[in-house]
Amino acid sequence: MSWEMSKNRVEAFTDGVLAIIITILVLELDMPEMPESANGSDFISILPELMPQLISYLVSFLVVAIYWVNHHSFFHRLSSTNHTLIWLNVHFLFWVSLIPFPTGHMGEHPFSIMANVILAAVFFMGSLSFKMMSSYSMFGSNICQDSLQHEEKKRIARIEWIGPILYATAIGSAFIDTRISILLMIVTPLVYFIPAREKKKVRSIRNEKGVIKEYTNDNIKITWKPELCEHAGNCFNGLPKVFNPKERPWINIDAATSEEIIHQVNHCPTDALSFIKIK
């Protein structure tokens, strides 16, 4: 018997697990005993002792937070789930659930080779298991949204290698210099805060004849000349998932293959639509 679990249920379960993991991370922080008469200067004096724990907590918190954000972005690309994806998600959560243990050990022994290796290894497996889940959805199944073009899938797949590669490097670096390993584990989450540069897909050009609209992806550029358009509806009737006058922008160039779009553009009766192949 075939069955399918809703996307919302998988996301809700994952959200709950990640929330518990963050709670456990906080509980791993161990405050040194202080007398009741302690003042602000006494607290400041123990900060150097607390710093390894705080840094370990902050790095692990950022890693879990990034997993949470990326998980929601990933599920936004899906049209449905299946049995394999659910177990890949469980596999991902298994590795993420281990993060509090090596985080606490790292806070107590920040320059221990094994403490660095174990934490980096858990981060590595977490990022690798996420990539396995994402790659399966894009290349090993039909549960990804049709609007996600193959070139965009390959771009996402390349970006998702950043984490595993840097964490694998951190594992090896721990045997050479633990400071390099620590630095890599701190830098890797920060990489995901650098906004990706996106190509501007819609551009307006004004000339003596009026406004020209250009819609671009990695393969083609569609040009629309409003002054030539007679609104015959051929484009909308032929390929409504791309050409929809009720949407803004009204051309969604990522909603179909380049071949489908070119075929439909060639049926424009007034040449208001034209195309140029980029590659």
pLDDT, tens digit, 9 for 90 and up, residues 126-136? 999 999 999 99
Q: What pLDDT shows up at residue 219? A: 82
Residue-range definition of the domain harbouring residue 216: 202-277
Please report, for residues 53, 55, 195, the alpha-carbon distance to residue 45 in angstroms, rounded to integers and kept in the order given: 15, 17, 38
Q: What pLDDT shows up at residue 1? A: 42
Q: CATH number of the domain that 235 lies in? A: 3.30.70.20
Clarify whether residues 175 and 206 are in a common domain: no
pLDDT at 80 over 90: no
Residue 1 belongs to a domain:
no
Q: What pLDDT shows up at residue 203? A: 61
Residue 2 belongs to a domain:
no
pLDDT, tens digit, 9 for 90 and up, residues 98-109? 999 999 999 889
pLDDT, tens digit, 9 for 90 and up, residues 12-55? 999 999 999 999 998 887 776 666 666 667 667 777 778 888 89
Clarify whether residues 102 and 176 are in a common domain: yes
Q: What pLDDT shows up at residue 16? A: 95
Domain count, the chain: 2
Out of 165, 191, 217, a domain closes at 191
Query: Do the beta carbons of residue 239 and residue 260 sit within 8 Å?
Result: yes
